[in-house]
Amino acid sequence: MKREVAYTRYVISKKDKKNLASKVSNRLSKELGNIVLSTNTIELLKYKLVASEVKIYLFNKLPSLIEKEELIFPSIILFFKYPEIRFSSVIVDEGAIPHILNGADIMAPGVIKVIGELKENVIVSIKDEKKRRVFAIGLVLDNPNEKMQKRKGRLLKNLHYVGDKIWNLYKNLVK
């Protein structure tokens, strides 16, 4: 028997929209903050995922931002809708992809290129080597430059990837 996911969904107020835009501008990018402000309708979808609450912000019904455990980060789908968004990213080799799609964190040896800067506690997109498409979102861990120089260690925490519980939830929302 399939279990239903309990959630609440509502349109956020103009004040909440401005607060969200400010938070996104400060933590992610001003460009993304401007997208928040220019979006006509933003809905908030809240649901329980294991032991924590996850919030998904829908921009005109498109799952665009995720807030989980005090972190806010873009959804993978947002990069398909707005490919022009400039965002720090890492390109990983093809051998790392299956592991990342199983929830593994991103290790320094699997990264073949960094676009932008890697700073501790910054959110980055993770792209495949061949087509350079975003397939995961990560959080930069401590000492990223040292890890990249030595080509050793866990570089990024895997926050969201194609096929995870969040992806499957919002994939069902856009049917």
Provide the CATH number for the domain around residue 69. 3.10.450.120
Provide the CATH number for the domain around residue 138. 2.30.130.10
Q: How many domains in the chain?
A: 2
Distance CA 134, CA 79 (A): 7
Which domain covers residue 153, as residue numbers?
A: 89-161
Residue whose C-alpha is closest to residue 20's, from 39, 47, 46, 6: 39
Per-residue pLDDT of the chain (175 residues; tens, 9 = 90+): 445 557 889 999 999 999 999 999 999 999 999 999 999 999 999 987 667 788 999 999 889 999 988 899 999 999 988 888 888 999 999 999 999 999 999 999 999 999 998 999 999 999 999 999 999 999 999 999 999 999 999 999 999 999 998 888 876 766 5
* Residues 77, 18 within the same domain: yes
Distance CA 102, CA 166 (A): 13
Among 83, 100, 135, residue at a domain's last position: 83
* Residues 79, 109 within the same domain: no
Q: Are 80 and 141 in contact, with CB atoms under 8 Å apart?
A: no
Distance CA 45, CA 28 (A): 20
Domain contains 113: yes
